[in-house]
């Protein structure tokens, strides 16, 4: 008879959780509501932020783009902090709850800033191209609201899916099957929140008011967090066990403290902790400087002759090898950062392009510029469906393989990003050709929005391959006890990608200037040379593809040599592999754990 108690989790009282009273789909659904609210809020703000910054705050195009990129990047980078806080101090439940409140507060500040006239510059005079830009205080209030939201986003994204999986027992076959479906439903919530944000959310912002549009985000999080907390007594919880980041620091510090020691030729003399419950990993002949953390010297012995277990001075071979596995991920991590620089363009300059085009459907309805990200989302959905429903069955039939490897999928996504930026450059030259005829001061050019769809769509297709490949790679190629940290590493590539975009935009602005007619990224893109910028991004993406291929080849060659690590990874049971594949199907709306 199956036990009603769950050994891996506790209830809100700290007692072993009762399966019949805690966890399950209803608890998971209340958690997933938080993710839907997060996507509705952050995507709705980011997708229309560039038009608000330019149209209302009268900021230069490059400055507006950098505000969006920095805000989006900060949210993803802070996932590492959010995961650390949950693992070490607050636990996932309280981290998610507090993060929800923080996001609601940030959205409220943003809503209020849009409603108070003194927090915005005066409107542009009629028939004048001279506008007074927002002052430092006004921009400061905007950034305050954005970074409050980013702090909450980092805490929520790092823990919401992990807390969802805590509601199911992996050792129970029935619950394990239900947990497999959690990831597809998690993806559905991400998609639902994102689609609502770029349609309903942006529609309210454009056709009612920005204040109400951002206010709805605050209201959504208020009720979402309330629903989440009403289920408090029915959740399953896990005690804080410490962050894997600390283990990495342990090994690094221990290796640095013993950097002058010489690694022994006999690896059997390295420290092996007999009390460890984790599966043993045998020594590998790579990254030797980390092995020094496992060298036992005279300072590691106590007065009774026994080894003193100080994790900042001495680490076991298994702990060292787990850190080596993380170090081996870093070249792939570094070579995938630039890809997310491409993603930031559909939130910034591509939206600004859309704002200059004829966007009317039928007689009255006009598509908001920020809603063009719907085509990017369609690219993700169609790309994922094409891969799952066509590519995988064909490869199974012809080669007996379950689709492309995770590294191959990343490469395919980078190729599509090159295609997207090449198309964007061509489209911009055609748009500027119309500008020469109609004039640069024309608010809406006589050119239909259809020509912009391909660049949004192909960026989405690119992400459907790269995101799933990255997530699959970082989860399956990391130590079992470091899955959350490896997911944080993956999400940090997205954050750094946005900051790379900010860096490139700043450099281009300094080098080419902002003078109308000469600068690439001018305050009015009708007088700029945005096509050069897109072409540069395509060239840099091609260079990054070569760099990535070299890193991938190095990793494959390294893994062939590290046969012990490969055997540890491939020894997982089929159910865990299926779980990882389910996780690999998620796309970049969320991400996460």
Domain assignment present for residue 526? The answer is yes
For the record, the structure tokens of 295 come out as 């060298």
The residue out of 294, 325, 356 marking a domain boundary is: 325
What pLDDT tens digit does each residue of the chain (593 aa) get?
A: 455 776 678 888 888 888 888 888 889 889 988 988 998 999 889 888 888 898 889 898 888 889 999 998 999 999 889 988 888 888 889 999 999 999 999 999 999 999 998 999 988 876 666 788 899 999 999 999 999 999 999 999 888 878 888 888 877 778 777 776 676 667 677 777 888 888 888 889 888 888 998 999 999 999 999 999 999 999 999 887 778 888 899 999 999 999 888 888 888 888 888 777 677 888 888 888 899 999 988 888 877 778 888 888 898 888 898 899 889 999 999 999 999 999 888 888 888 898 889 888 877 788 888 888 889 888 988 888 888 888 888 888 887 777 888 899 999 999 999 999 999 999 999 999 998 888 777 878 888 888 999 999 999 999 989 988 888 888 788 887 777 778 788 889 999 999 999 999 999 999 988 777 778 988 888 888 999 999 999 999 999 999 999 999 999 888 876 654 444 444 444 444 444 444 444 433 333 33
Q: Can you say whether residue 403 is alpha, beta or left, with left for phi > 0 and alpha for psi between -120 and 50 degrees?
A: left
For the record, the structure tokens of 55 come out as 């149209």
Domain assignment present for residue 592? The answer is yes
Domain assignment present for residue 299? The answer is yes
Domain assignment present for residue 304? The answer is yes
236 with 250, same domain: the answer is no
19 with 99, same domain: the answer is yes
4 with 141, same domain: the answer is yes
109 with 55, same domain: the answer is yes
492 with 584, same domain: the answer is yes
The residue out of 203, 223, 241 marking a domain boundary is: 241
The answer to whether 163 touches 35, Cβ cutoff 8 Å, is no
249 with 234, same domain: the answer is no
Please calculate the CA angle 370-371-375 and round it to the nearest 5 degrees.
120
353 with 301, same domain: the answer is no
157 with 30, same domain: the answer is yes
CATH of the domain at 352: 1.20.1250.20
Closest CA relative to residue 98, chosen from 225, 217, 230, 233: 225
Domain assignment present for residue 93? The answer is yes
Q: In which element (H, E) is residue 348 found?
A: none
Domain assignment present for residue 331? The answer is no
192 with 282, same domain: the answer is no
Domain assignment present for residue 330? The answer is no
| Domain, as residue range, for 47 | 1-241
Domain assignment present for residue 405? The answer is yes
279 with 218, same domain: the answer is no
The answer to whether 384 touches 467, Cβ cutoff 8 Å, is no
347 with 441, same domain: the answer is yes
The residue out of 292, 325, 358 marking a domain boundary is: 325
Report H helices in 439-482.
453-476
**How many domains would you assign to the chain?**
3
Exposure of 388 by Cβ count < 10 A (0-12 exposed, 13-18 middle, 19+ buried)? middle
191 with 297, same domain: the answer is no
């Amino acid at each position: 008879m199956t036990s009603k108690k769950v050994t891996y989790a506790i209830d809100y009282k700290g007692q072993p959780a009762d399966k019949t009273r805690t966890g399950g789909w209803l608890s998971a659904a209340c958690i997933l509501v938080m993710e839907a609210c997060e996507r509705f809020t952050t995507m709705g703000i980011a997708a229309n932020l560039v038009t608000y910054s330019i149209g209302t705050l009268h900021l230069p195009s490059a400055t507006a783009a950098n505000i969006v990129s920095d805000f989006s990047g900060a949210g993803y980078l802070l996932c590492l902090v959010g995961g650390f806080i949950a693992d070490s101090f607050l636990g996932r439940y309280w981290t998610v709850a507090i993060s929800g409140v923080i996001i609601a507060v940030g959205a409220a500040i943003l809503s209020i800033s849009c409603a108070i006239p003194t927090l915005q510059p005066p409107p542009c005079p009629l028939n004048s191209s001279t506008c007074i830009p927002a002052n430092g205080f006004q921009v400061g209030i905007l950034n305050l609201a954005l970074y409050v939201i980013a702090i909450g986003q980092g805490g929520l994204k790092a823990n919401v899916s992990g807390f969802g999986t805590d509601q199911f027992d992996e050792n129970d076959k029935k619950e394990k099957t239900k947990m497999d479906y959690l990831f597809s439903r998690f993806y559905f919530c991400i998609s639902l929140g994102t689609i609502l944000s770029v349609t309903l959310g942006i529609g309210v912002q454009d056709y009612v008011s920005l204040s109400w549009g951002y206010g709805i985000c605050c209201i959504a999080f208020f009720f979402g967090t309330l629903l989440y907390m009403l289920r408090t007594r029915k959740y399953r919880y896990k005690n804080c066990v410490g962050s894997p980041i600390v283990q990495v620091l342990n090994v690094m510090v221990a290796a640095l403290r013993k950097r002058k020691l010489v690694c022994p030729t006999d690896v059997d003399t390295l420290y092996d902790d007999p009390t460890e419950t984790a599966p043993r990993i045998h020594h590998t002949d790579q990254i030797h400087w980390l092995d020094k953390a496992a060298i036992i010297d005279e300072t590691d012995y106590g007065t009774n002759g026994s080894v003193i277990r100080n994790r900042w001075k001495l680490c076991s071979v298994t702990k060292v090898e787990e850190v080596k596995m993380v170090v081996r991920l870093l070249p792939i991590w570094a070579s995938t950062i630039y890809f997310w620089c491409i993603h930031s363009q559909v939130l910034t300059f591509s939206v600004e392009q859309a704002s200059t085009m004829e966007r009317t459907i039928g007689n009255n309805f006009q598509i908001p510029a920020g809603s063009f990200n719907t085509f990017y989302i369609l690219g993700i959905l169609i790309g994922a469906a094409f891969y799952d429903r066509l590519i995988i069955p064909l490869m199974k039939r012809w080669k007996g393989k379950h689709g492309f490897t995770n590294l191959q999928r990343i490469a395919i996504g980078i190729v599509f990003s090159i295609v997207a930026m090449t198309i964007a450059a061509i489209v911009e030259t055609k748009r500027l050709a119309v500008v020469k005829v109609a004039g640069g001061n024309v608010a809406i050019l006589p050119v239909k929005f259809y020509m912009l769809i391909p660049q949004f769509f192909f960026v989405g297709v690119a992400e459907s391959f790269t995101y799933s490949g990255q997530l699959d790679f970082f989860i399956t190629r990391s130590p079992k006890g470091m899955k959350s940290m490896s997911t944080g590493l993956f999400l940090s590539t997205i954050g750094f990608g946005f900051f790379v975009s900010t860096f490139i935009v700043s450099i281009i602005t300094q080098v080419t200037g902002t003078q109308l007619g000469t600068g690439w990224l001018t305050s009015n893109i009708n007088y700029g040379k945005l096509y050069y910028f897109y072409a540069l991004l395509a060239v840099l993406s091609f260079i990054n593809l070569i760099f990535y291929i070299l890193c991938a080849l190095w990793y494959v060659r390294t893994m062939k040599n590290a046969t012990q690590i490969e055997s540890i990874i491939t020894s997982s049971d089929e159910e865990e592999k299926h779980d990882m594949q389910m996780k690999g199907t998620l796309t970049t709306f969320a991400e996460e754990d």
